[in-house]
């Protein structure tokens, strides 16, 4: 069975998938002049068990290239044999 490495349409390597992770940001909340103001405290509690791969409108997984640009799985192209 042959494997062919895929890359982004711009020729850059794919470095991972775009993910969604639930988290709770530590914050203090105030009512100031009739508006709710949030003062973030610099930390978050992350629920790693909630991690899921993002998908686009067509339901295709989203991949990220080495420059941070996002691509749907249906946009990836063949790069060549996987060494």
In the prediction, which pLDDT does 2 show? 85
> What does the pLDDT look like over 43-71, one tens digit per residue?
999 999 999 999 999 999 999 999 999 99
Q: How confident is the model at residue 81 (pLDDT cuts 50, 70, 90)?
A: low
Yes or no: say if 5 and 65 are a contact pair by the CB < 8 Å rule.
no
Which pLDDT tens digit goes with each residue over 1-48?
A: 788 999 999 999 999 999 999 999 999 999 999 999 999 999 999 999
pLDDT of residue 10: 97
Hey, what are 8's tokens?
A: 């982004």
Rounded Cα gap, residues 65 and 73, in angstroms:
12
């Amino acid at each position: 069975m042959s494997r062919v490495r895929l890359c982004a349409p711009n020729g850059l390597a794919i470095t991972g998938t775009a993910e969604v992770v639930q988290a709770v940001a530590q914050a203090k909340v105030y009512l100031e002049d009739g508006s709710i103001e949030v003062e973030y405290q610099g930390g978050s509690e992350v629920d790693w068990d909630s991690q899921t791969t993002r998908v686009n409108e067509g339901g295709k997984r989203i991949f990220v290239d080495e420059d941070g640009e996002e691509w749907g799985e249906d946009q990836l192209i063949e790069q060549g044999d996987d060494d």
